[in-house]
C-alpha cells in the first residue's frame, strides 16, 4: 500500500463517489458476466467515441448479434453495415476477426487470461484491463484518455500524455493507485469522473472528490494539465467521386481492408483534375449528363483524425443497363441505403439524392 496519504486515499474516495454519483444505468452494465461479450463490445465501441453516440449503436448491434457466436458467423459486410456511421471501421473488422478467433481457439468463450485477451485483434493494454475488470472482477489498471486527464490534473503530471515518458509515468501511477477490492466501481469511477466532471473543456471541479488536493485545481491549471498535443498543420487531401446512376441504382466499389473506410462500399474515386466522363469510361461505363440531372454536386470537407479530405462528387447517368455482378462492385438501390456498409460522407451524398 502506498505510504503517501493522497495515494492511499485516492481509490476509497473515488469508489465512494462512484457509488453515489457515477453512472449505473448504461446498457452494458450489470453483474459479473457469464462471458464478456457485452463488456467487450462496449469497450471496443467506446474507443475514441462518446457514450451518448455509442448507446444506440450498441443496442442495435446487440439486437442483431446477441452473442459472440452469432457475431462470428455473420458476414463482414453485415457487421460493417451495423457499424456504418460510427467511424474507425478497423474496430469493426477487428471485432469480427476476434469473435471468429474466440470461437476457433477458445470454444466460443471469451478468455479470462489477460494475455489471451491481449492477443485478440483490436485490444490494447487499457481495453484488455477494462474487460478483465468489468467482466471478471480482475484487479487491472486502465489508462484511457479520460483517466490520463484525471491523473495528470490530480497529481500534477507535466507533459503531453501521448509522449512515451509521460505515458509510462501515468501507467506506473495507475498501477500504484489500484484498490484491493471494489475494482469494478473503481474502474467505472475513473471513467465517469473523466467523462462527467473532469472534462477537457469546462471541468466541474466543485463536484470532484479531489477538489481540495488536486494540483490543477489548487494552482488553477485545468487548461494546462494535461498538456495538449504539440500543434502541427492538419494536412488536406482531395478526391473526386463518381455517382453513376442507372434506374434508381448507384455503382459502388469495395475498398481494401487497409486504409480509410477499409472493407466498406464506397463510390469510385478518381483524381479531381480528370474528366468525370473519362473516369467512368475507364470503369467500362459510358456515362452522360442530362439537363434535368446536373452533373456537379456541391463539394464538401470530411475530417479524419490526422487529415481533412475534400470530396467533389460528380453525378452521371449511365447510358446502358448495369452488367452482371463484377468482382468488387455492386449496384445498390437508393432505397436500400439503411443497412449498407457505407462511409459517412458517401451515405451523405447518396441520401441527398434520395430526397
Alpha helices (H) along 119-235: 125-136, 145-155, 164-177, 183-196, 215-218
**pLDDT for 334:** 92
CB 147 within 8 A of CB 161: no
End-to-end CA distance of the chain: 63
**pLDDT for 319:** 73
The one catalytic residue in 43, 52, 158, 249 is 43
User: How many Cβ atoms are within 10 Å of 265's Cβ, its own excluded?
Assistant: 24
Count how many residues are written for the chain: 355
CATH superfamily of 236-354: Nucleoside Triphosphate Pyrophosphohydrolase (3.90.79.10)
Q: What contacts 115, CB < 8 A, 6 or more positions away?
A: none
Structure-block grid coordinates of residue 256: 481494401
CB 337 within 8 A of CB 267: no
Instruction: In whole angstroms, give the CA distance from residue 135 to residue 204.
Output: 30
**Burial 118-140, CB ≥16 within 10 A → b, else e:** bebebbeebbbbbbbbbbbebeb
Phi–psi pair at 288, nearest 5 degrees? -130, 160
CA dihedral 303, 305, 307, 313 (to 10 degrees): -30
Residue ranges for the chain with pLDDT beneath 50 = 34, 291-292
Instruction: In whole angstroms, give the CA distance from residue 32 to residue 18.
Output: 18
**pLDDT for 291:** 47
Omega before 226 cis (within 30°)?
yes
CB 337 within 8 A of CB 351: yes
Q: What's 334's DSSP letter?
A: T
Any idea where the domains of the chain sit in the sequence? Answer: 5-218, 236-354
Look up 43 and say whether it is catalytic: yes
User: Which residue from 122, 120, 132, 178 is spatially nearest to 36, judged by alpha carbons?
Assistant: 132
Domains 5-218 and 236-354 share a fold: no
**pLDDT for 233:** 85
**pLDDT for 327:** 82
What is this structure's pTM? 0.82
Q: What contacts 347, CB < 8 A, 6 or more positions away?
A: 84, 85, 337, 340
- SS3 category, 13: helix
**pLDDT for 58:** 96
Q: Kindly report the CATH number that applies to the domain delimited by 5-218.
A: 1.10.340.30
CB 316 within 8 A of CB 245: yes
User: Which residue from 170, 145, 168, 147 is spatially nearest to 157, judged by alpha carbons?
Assistant: 170
Q: What is the DSSP string of 271-320?
A: -TTS-HHHHHHHTT--EE-BTTB-SBPPPEEEE-SS-EEEEEEEEEEESS
Instruction: Say if residue 75 is exposed, middle or buried (CB neighbours under 10 Å; 0-12, 13-18, 19+).
Output: exposed
User: Which residue from 2, 1, 13, 3 is spatially nearest to 214, judged by alpha carbons?
Assistant: 13
Instruction: In whole angstroms, give the CA distance from residue 74 to residue 57.
Output: 17
Instruction: In whole angstroms, give the CA distance from residue 141 to residue 155.
Output: 17
**pLDDT for 324:** 58
Instruction: Note the pLDDT tens digit of each residue in 34-51.
Output: 468 999 999 999 998 999
**pLDDT for 212:** 96
Instruction: In whole angstroms, give the CA distance from residue 227 to residue 217.
Output: 15
Amino acid at each position: 500500500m502506498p505510504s503517501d496519504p493522497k495515494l492511499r486515499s485516492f481509490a476509497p474516495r473515488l469508489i465512494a463517489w462512484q457509488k453515489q454519483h457515477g453512472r449505473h444505468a448504461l446498457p452494458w452494465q450489470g453483474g459479473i458476466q457469464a462471458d464478456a461479450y457485452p463488456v467487450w463490445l462496449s469497450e471496443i465501441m467506446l474507443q475514441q467515441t462518446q457514450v451518448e453516440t455509442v448507446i444506440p449503436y450498441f443496442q442495435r448491434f446487440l439486437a442483431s448479434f446477441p452473442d459472440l457466436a452469432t457475431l462470428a458467423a455473420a458476414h463482414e459486410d453485415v457487421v460493417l453495415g451495423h457499424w456504418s456511421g460510427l467511424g474507425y471501421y478497423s474496430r469493426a473488422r477487428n471485432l469480427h476477426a476476434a469473435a471468429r478467433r474466440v470461437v476457433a481457439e477458445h470454444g466460443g468463450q471469451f478468455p479470462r487470461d489477460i494475455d489471451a485477451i491481449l492477443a485478440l485483434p483490436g485490444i490494447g493494454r487499457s481495453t484488455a484491463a477494462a474487460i478483465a475488470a468489468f467482466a471478471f472482477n480482475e484487479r487491472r489498471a486502465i489508462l484511457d484518455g479520460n483517466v490520463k486527464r484525471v491523473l495528470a490534473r490530480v497529481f500534477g503530471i507535466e507533459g503531453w500524455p501521448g509522449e512515451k515518458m509521460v505515458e509510462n509515468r501515468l501507467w506506473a501511477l495507475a498501477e500504484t493507485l489500484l484498490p484491493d477490492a471494489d475494482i469494478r466501481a473503481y474502474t467505472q469511477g475513473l471513467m465517469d469522473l473523466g467523462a462527467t466532471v473532469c472534462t477537457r473543456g469546462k471541468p466541474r471541479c466543485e463536484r470532484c472528490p479531489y477538489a481540495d488536493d488536486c494540483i490543477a485545481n489548487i494552482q488553477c491549471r485545468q487548461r494546462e494539465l494535461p498538456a495538449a498535443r504539440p500543434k502541427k498543420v492538419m494536412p488536406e487531401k482531395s478526391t473526386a467521386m463518381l455517382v453513376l446512376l442507372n434506374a434508381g441504382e448507384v455503382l459502388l466499389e469495395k475498398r481494401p481492408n487497409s486504409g480509410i473506410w477499409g472493407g466498406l462500399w464506397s463510390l469510385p474515386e478518381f483524381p479531381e483534375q480528370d474528366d468525370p466522363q473519362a473516369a467512368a469510361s475507364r470503369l467500362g461505363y459510358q456515362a452522360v449528363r442530362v439537363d434535368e440531372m446536373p452533373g456537379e454536386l456541391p463539394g464538401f470537407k470530411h475530417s479524419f483524425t490526422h487529415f481533412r479530405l475534400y470530396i467533389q462528387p460528380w453525378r452521371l447517368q449511365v447510358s446502358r443497363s448495369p452488367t452482371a455482378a463484377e468482382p468488387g462492385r455492386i449496384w445498390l438501390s437508393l432505397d436500400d441505403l439503411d443497412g449498407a456498409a457505407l462511409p459517412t460522407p458517401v451515405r451523405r451524398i447518396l441520401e441527398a439524392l434520395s430526397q
